[in-house]
Every structure is written in C-alpha cells, then in structure tokens.
C-alpha cells in the first residue's frame, strides 16, 4: 500500500469571508503525518465538519499575520486543551504570533496541559523547518504586504521494489536488500557490479507540495517550485483586476498560471478567491489559458497525489 500524500482544503476564501467560503486553511497528510497549513477563523469548525481528527495535528504552519490566515488558531489550541491533549504541538510562525497567543491564554486564565513548541520564521529561503524519516518541510519566501512565508513539503525518497528473480539469480543476501531498495548497486561474489536499475522496479519519485499564499507575482520563487507535483498559488483576482492585485500584493489567475508554467509543476491549484467572485469557473478558465493543468481549491475537497515511477 502506497503511503498517503493528500491535501484537504478547509478554507479557500480571502480576507472577508462569504457565506460559503471560509478563510484559508489546509490539511496535508503525508504518510499519516498531519500538517495544518494556515488556520483562518473557524478552521476548527471546518475540521469538525469534514470529520478530520484535529488531535492528530502535531505541526501547524502559519504563513503570516493577516487575520484570515491565523485567527482560528487560539480557538483550536484551546479546544485541543479542553479535549485533553497532553502531547506537544509545534507551531512554525512569525515570532509575533507567540505574543498574540500568550496574551489570550493569559487573559482567559487558560493553563495548557500540553506544550507549544514555537519555530519562528527567519524569512530566508530553503530553511529546513521539519524533517523525519518520511517528509521534510522547507521555507519559500513570499512577497506580501507584511512578512510572509510559504512552505515546500517533500516526501523522503521511497524504497523501490526489488525484483524477486534477481535475488535468486545473483544470490543476493538478505542484509543487502534494504540498501538495494534504497538505490545501491550489487557486487556479486565474482566481483561483477550489477547496477541498481537492473535489480529494482517501481522506483518511485518522491512527491512534493508547495504552498504559496499570499504573494504578489514574484519570479524569485520559481526556482524553489521547480517540478513540484502540486503547487498551490493564490489567485485572489482575475487578470482585469491586475492594478488592484499589485496594490494589495496579491496575484491574478494569469500570474499564478505563469508561475506554474515557468516552474514546470505538474498541477496548479488556485485559491484565496476575492469575495467578489461568486462563480469560480471564470477564474479557472482564465488560468487554464496559460497553464492547462489547473484546478480550483474547493472546501471539503481533497486531492491525493499519485506516485510516479522514474
């Protein structure tokens, strides 16, 4: 069974919520590690609504301190506490967020039964925020009105399948199998080097997800997005609103699609839609004129990234 790499959209709206779009929040499951990415108001309600267990979230990534990206955090922290959480919660965020959380816990006289471990943004690219045996998370510096950080989630290289008949043919000992699955060549008793690609099948490419919200059009991010399986890039406006996009340090559909095209990503997901758009199809169609493999972020919907063999 292939490990999961699945993104669920909890909120896809921008700053002023509409009756059917919540502010930004996403839940990423990589191999049963649950990463919450931004946490707009009512995120805990959305998690409930979509029956996602929020106590399984151990890592929360906050891009920046505009309310539509973090106002749901204190409520979530508080509910985790009320429901008996005792294990650590990691928050990757701007340093000022700690102050905002602390003052609210203080005035509500809430003494958490678990620890929050803060990891503050330094606003440099490619900083390793998190890593374990399955996944790593790195920073992507975005360009917004206030300091803002995107995130790149990347699966660790996965083991290939070893060909059974080759084990017999070359008499490969048990203790070398993991090395070969990880990419090693095999040297036979007679000294012959059997290259790895002769021994394995299904060499799986690690999957990756890049999260870019909020940001104006900025080509400096492209090098960090090169070839990712899924890119989420905000598209607050349609392209006729370019002046407004520039003024507010947001992007248009065409700009998001241009970034996707230049970074040669597999799939682009747009979101952070302005409340002015009731129907999202025109945004999708406009983006597709530049980058065909574009999809819309839709609340409650999940996208599962399929693996590809090399």
Name the site residues for a second copy (rule: CB under 8 A): 15-19, 22-23, 41-42, 44-45, 48-49, 51, 65-68, 71-72, 74-75, 78-79, 82-83, 94, 96-97, 99-100, 103-104, 107-110, 145-146
> Is residue 296 a contact partner of residue 271, using CB atoms and an 8 Å limit?
yes
Least distance CB 217 / a second copy (angstroms): 21
- Is residue 140 within 8 Å of residue 60, measured between CB atoms? no
- Dump the DSSP string for 253-271: HHHHHHHHHHTT-SEEEEE
Residue among 2 and 103 whose Cβ is closer to a second copy = 103
CB of 97 to a second copy, least distance (A): 8
Residues 94 and 62: beta-carbon distance below 8 Å = yes
Q: How far apart are CA 12 and CA 115, in angstroms?
A: 29
Which helix (H) or strand (E) segment holds residue 52: the answer is: none
Nearer to a second copy, 146 or 193 (CB): 146
CA–CA gap between residue 293 and residue 265 (Å, rounded): 9
Catalytic residue among 38, 68, 88, 218: 68
68 labelled catalytic: yes
CB-wise, 111 or 190, nearer to a second copy? 111
Q: What is the DSSP letter of 54?
A: G
Give the SS3 label for residue 219. Answer: helix
| Token pair 């009320």: residue | 82
Nearer to a second copy, 87 or 264 (CB): 87
Cβ-Cβ contacts under 8 Å for 29 (sequence gap 6 or more): 4, 5, 6, 7, 8, 35
Q: At closest approach, how far in Å is the CB of 102 from a second copy?
A: 10
In angstroms, give the least distance from the CB of 133 to a second copy. Answer: 33
What's the min distance (Å) between Cβ of 17 and a second copy? 5
**Shortest CB 98 distance to a second copy, Å:** 11
Q: Which residues contact 212 (CB under 8 A, 6 or more apart)?
A: 140, 142, 150, 221, 225, 231, 232, 233, 234, 259
Cβ proximity to a second copy, 34 vs 70, nearer residue: 70
Nearer to a second copy, 209 or 273 (CB): 273
Catalytic residue positions, numbered: 68
């Amino acid at each position: 069974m292939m490990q999961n790499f699945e993104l669920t959209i909890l909120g896809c709206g921008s700053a002023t919520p509409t009756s059917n779009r919540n502010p930004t929040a996403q839940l990423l499951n990589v191999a049963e590690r649950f990463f919450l990415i931004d946490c707009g108001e009512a995120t805990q309600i959305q998690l409930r609504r979509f029956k996602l267990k929020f106590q399984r979230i151990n890592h929360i990534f906050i891009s920046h301190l505009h309310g539509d990206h973090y106002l749901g955090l204190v409520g979530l922290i508080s509910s985790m506490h009320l429901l008996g959480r005792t294990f650590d919660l990691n928050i990757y965020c701007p340093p000022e967020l700690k102050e905002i959380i602390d003052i609210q816990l203080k005035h509500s006289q809430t003494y958490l039964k678990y620890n929050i471990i803060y990891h503050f943004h330094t606003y440099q690219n490619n900083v390793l925020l998190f890593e374990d045996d399955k996944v790593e998370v790195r920073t992507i510096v975005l360009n917004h009105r206030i300091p803002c950080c995107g995130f790149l989630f990347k699966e660790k290289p996965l083991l290939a399948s070893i060909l059974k008949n080759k084990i017999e043919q070359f008499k490969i000992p048990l203790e070398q199998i993991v090395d070969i699955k990880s990419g090693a060549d095999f040297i036979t008793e007679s000294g012959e080097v059997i290259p790895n690609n002769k021994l394995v099948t299904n060499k799986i490419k690690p999957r990756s997800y890049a999260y870019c919200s909020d940001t104006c059009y900025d080509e400096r991010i492209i090098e960090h997005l090169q070839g990712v399986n899924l890119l989420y890039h905000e598209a607050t406006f349609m392209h006729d609103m370019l002046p407004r996009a520039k003024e507010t340090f947001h992007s248009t559909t065409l700009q998001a699609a241009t970034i996707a095209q230049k970074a040669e990503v597999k799939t682009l997901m747009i979101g952070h839609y302005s409340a002015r758009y009731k129907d999202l199809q025109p945004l999708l169609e406009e983006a597709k004129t530049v980058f065909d493999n574009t999809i819309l972020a839709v609340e409650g919907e999940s996208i599962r990234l399929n693996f590809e063999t090399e």
